[in-house]
Structure 1
Amino acid sequence: MTAVTIRDRVYEAGGTAAEFDAATTLPPAFYLDEQLYQLEEQRVMRAQWLPLARVAQVARPGDYLAAELLGEPLVAVRDKAGVLRVLSNVCRHRAMPIAEGRGSCQTLKCPYHLWSYRLDGSLGGAPMMLENGSFDRDAVRLPEIRHEVWQGWIMVNLDGSAPSLAARIPALSASLAGWDFTDLTVVASRTYEADWNWKITVENFCECYHHLGLHRESLEPFLPSRDSRCLDNGGEPWNSSISRCAPEYLALQGSPMSGVDGERAGVNQIFTVFPFLCAGAQGGSAFWLELTPETAGKHRITWHVLVRPDQAAQPGIEDFAAASMQAIDVLQSEDSAACRGVQAGLRSTFAASGSFAPLEKPIWQFQRWLLEGLADR
């Protein structure tokens, strides 16, 4: 796909200056075209801050967590001095992935030929390599990927070019101040396969308009669409919606998180840091919708339930986590049916861009940001 074609696509999508009331949704090609997905990955995803893990998942010296992001095997580690690092999880010898899953270790050891690496990325051992007179062990180390911690998430920038995340989204940080995401820990996770475009998931997540139809029995009674509002992002790369919680919904949450009081104690707030950190909170718990894009029509979705550290240690947390995942199963089943239906509909000859409903302003904010990123080069 040429640069001219991209400019045509951007023009077709309404351009970057279209006002909300006059704007229309992205045309079908933005969800179907594999070449366009590759451009999104290179121009938008790799150039931005992407969520890898929660700091609480690598809290102690020696802790590590391996994950893949846009096809890049990465490992977050806490070295002996307590310094958090994000390293390439690919051995410098024959490119074998080194660490798997999550755990604690003294060194990272490749299972292929037992090359080992200290937790700062430097080479610790390379069996029988002394016989190679030109081998310089001091020159061998795992590349370190730029990262930044924001609200307890380990955010990585794969191409190393992005401005500081915190400096780009001060208004969102201010709106989340009462939730205190910083120390929240994961108590339950579940992964779902998604055979539709990653943007459909982001757009479905960020608006409450669809509660009215899609979740009319599961979510609408607890988080009514009509009691929702969208925040103004001031041109920053995020969106957010706030919904009033029904008393029955709040009763399921347990004690409020630290700092949550007043009006905030009675609402649910969801937000997206572009391109795809999707999360939210209400009363006594929070959640993170982790996306792993793979192709134009395929990605993985992992739901994480987040609670305060003291909550995680309380009796009954297993029951709370299980009940939360049971509710998420229902919501994800409903969302999956809709998202899969949208992907199928976009393939129709008659599919076209449509108008935004007022509660879909977060989608417009996201799409405008995406178009600006694609057209910037």
Structure 2
Amino acid sequence: MSNNKLMIDTNKSLPSQYYLDSDIHEKEKTKILYRNWHYAGHVNQVANPGDYLTLKLGDESLIVIRGDDGELKGFFNVCRHRAHRLLEGSGHVKSITCPYHAWNYSRNGELRHAQNADKMPGFDKSDYCLSGYQVATLCGFIFVNLDKDATPINDLADGLEEDLRQRIPFLDQLKPIQYDTGRPSSINANWKNVVDNFLECYHCTKAHPAFVNMIDMDKYETEIFDIWSRQYASTAKPENKAYQFDKHTSVQDMCFWFLWPTTALGYFPGAEALFISAILPDGVDKTTRFGHWLVVDETPLPDNFNNYMNNVLFVEDIALCESVHQGLRSQSYNQGPYMIDPDHSGISEIAVQHFHGLIRQAIGYAQGG
């Protein structure tokens, strides 16, 4: 087990109020969402100057765009005139024009044109450039952070890039699947419920029967690090109830990673493919999990792979998270124990405890825990 510098001082889970209280949710926005690194996309989605994507983070709408200098830029998706939203979705632009009063900005964020500005004494276009934030890449993945003074992601996630490259030899060959649809993305549960569920496989034997028929749970391991964790199973069965795969394919194992506070990624056996997603709050009791699959050179996925992921595994997890969220409203429940055996087996909840410690560290302790 890795040396975890975070001191955990409780053996019980977060109290229910952490998942239900609107004041705590507001505190999370200012102290977690707006001060940490979140996954936004892949560099191949914004490969050329003018290519852009947008995302929602709490109350903020954000733009990531490839500037004329070839560098990635991060701008708040808000016109500096009257606060109208500038861009929607993803695409390509020669410049950014506000749909409201046609203020026009360069792809580097400078205000280029504002009607009648030349008739206003003292009006300086340089005073009204788009407001920006930090953008960084890690292994080709784009991350954003609204805190301009935040520590670089590679310094915070010490050892993560090395671990990814060691376990994913095809990492630099991955490209997003162009038409990656059909996967549920909206969950009627607090975002921390969704993260909790991702971080443990204690529930897998009961809740994911096809998964445990494929993965050798005796070889399942969980490790925690400063702000990230890893779940790994070294062997899997090509003939199984989830989807069948070639026993000679290069990927015969499974690995999931979590990067504080919202990024989940990993691969399944049978294909040189990787999923990555951001688990983002959309209010107290709703979560949006957005992301995509990436593959090597349009590698075909095993038969029934997409059906199992989209219509079985993800649906099972969504039902679990939504049921837990409803149960947290019961007057009969406040906290439960972490199930962590002395050997820290792969099905223990050590990564959930680690995540909860980071939550408590970020926003402080609410009454009762």
CA distance in 1, matches of 2:239, 2:281: 35
Structure 2 contact 238–247 (Cα < 8 Å) conserved: no
Deviations 1:161-213 (A, max 9, x none): 32111112222222212315455322114452211110010111121222211
Match of 2:232 among 214, 239, 242: 242
Tell whether the 8 Å contact from 1:214 to 1:334 is kept in structure 2 after alignment: yes
- Out of 158, 166, 175, the residue aligned to residue 154 of structure 2 is 166
C-alpha change, 1:35 and 1:325, in structure 2 (3 Å) is farther
* Aligned position for 1:349: 331
* 1:208 match: 201
Q: Which residue of 2 aligns with 1:299?
A: 287
Partners of 1:119 and 1:131 lie apart in 2 by 25
Residue 328 of structure 1: which of 289, 294, 310 is its match?
Answer: 310
Matches of 1:84 and 1:59 in 2, distance apart?
9
Distance 1:182 1:107 in 2: 30
- C-alpha separation in 2, matches of 1:253 and 1:302: 29
Residues 220-235 of structure 1 mapped to structure 2, 5 A cutoff: 220-233=212-225
Larger fraction in helix: 1
Amino acid corresponding to residue 316 of structure 2 in structure 1: E
Contact 1:56 1:184 in 2 (8 A): no
Q: 1:253 to 1:103 in 2, by over 3 A?
A: farther
- In 2, the alpha carbon distance for the partners of 1:278 and 1:225 equals 20
Kindly indicate whether the alpha-carbon contact (under 8 Å) linking 1:52 and 1:155 is maintained by their aligned counterparts in 2. Answer: yes
Q: TM-score, length-normalised on structure 1? A: 0.84
Is residue 38 of structure 2 the alignment partner of residue 50 of structure 1? yes
Aligned to 1:155: 143
| 2-structure distance, mates of 1:231, 1:170 | 14
Alignment CA distance shift 1:37-1:255 (3 Å): farther
SS at match of 1:272: strand
CA distance in 1, matches of 2:53, 2:81: 21
1:255-307: CA deviations, max 9, x gaps? 96xxxx6xxx3211111111110111234111013222122211212241111
Using the alignment, how far apart are the partners of 1:171 and 1:251 within structure 2?
Answer: 33
Partner SS state of residue 296, structure 1:
coil
Counterparts of 2:154 and 2:87 in 1: how far apart (Å)? 30
Q: Which residue of 2 aligns with 1:361?
A: 350
Conserved? CA contact 1:87–1:143, under 8 Å: yes
Distance (whole Å) between structure 1 residues aligned to residue 12 and residue 275 of structure 2: 30
Quote the Cα distance in structure 2 between the aligned partners of 1:29 and 1:210.
23
Partner Cα distance (1:107, 1:184) in 2 = 29
Partner of 2:345: none
* Correspondences of 1:76-155 after superposition (within 5 Å): 76-155=64-143
SS at structure 2 position matched to 1:202: helix
Q: Is the 2:238–2:246 Cα contact (8 Å) retained in structure 1? A: no
Given the superposition, is the C-alpha separation of residues 141 and 325 from structure 1 closer, same or farther in structure 2, using an over 3 Å criterion?
farther
Specify whether residues 83 and 17 from structure 1 end up closer, same or farther in structure 2 by C-alpha distance, changes over 3 A only.
closer
Residue number in structure 2 paired with 1:11 = none
C-alpha deviation, 1:325, in angstroms: 5.7
Q: 28, 31, 40: which is aligned to 2:28? A: 40
Q: Could you say what the CA RMSD is over the residues aligned between the two structures, in angstroms?
A: 2.5
Letter in 2 for 1:274: W
Please list the CA deviations of residues 133-177 of structure 1 after superposition, one character each: whole Å capped at 9, or x if unmatched: 332223221012112111222111112232111112222222212
Task: Give 2:255's match in structure 1, choosing from 269, 275, 289.
Answer: 269
Q: After the TM superposition, which of the residue ranges 125-134 and 343-352 deviates more from structure 2? A: 125-134
Secondary structure in 2 aligned to 1:241?
strand
Aligned to 1:8: none
* Contact residue 244 and residue 303 of structure 2 kept, 8 A: no
Q: Is the 8 A contact 2:195 2:262 kept in 1?
A: yes
SS at match of 2:319: helix
Task: Give the counterpart letter for 1:365 in structure 2.
Answer: H
The change in CA–CA distance for 1:118 and 1:300 in structure 2 (over 3 A counts) is: same
8 Å contact from structure 2 (residues 276, 292) kept in 1: yes
Contact 1:191 1:303 in 2 (8 A): no
Following the alignment from structure 2 to structure 1, what is the Cα–Cα distance between the partners of residues 100 and 24?
36
CA distance in 2, matches of 1:307, 1:253: 17
Local SS of the residue matching 1:170: coil
Paired letter, 2:12: T
Letter of the 1:366 counterpart: F
Residue deviations 1:49-100 (CA, integer Å, cap 9, x gap): 1112221210112211122111211111112221111111111111111111
Question: Unaligned regions of 5+ residues in structure 2, if any?
Answer: 1-5, 341-347
Q: In the TM superposition, what is the alpha-carbon distance from 1:33 to its structure 2 partner?
A: 0.9
Distance 1:325 1:50, change over 3 A: farther
Q: Structure 1: any 5+ residue segments left out of the alignment? A: 1-15
The code of the aligned residue for 1:186 comes to: P
The letter of the residue matching 1:185 is: K
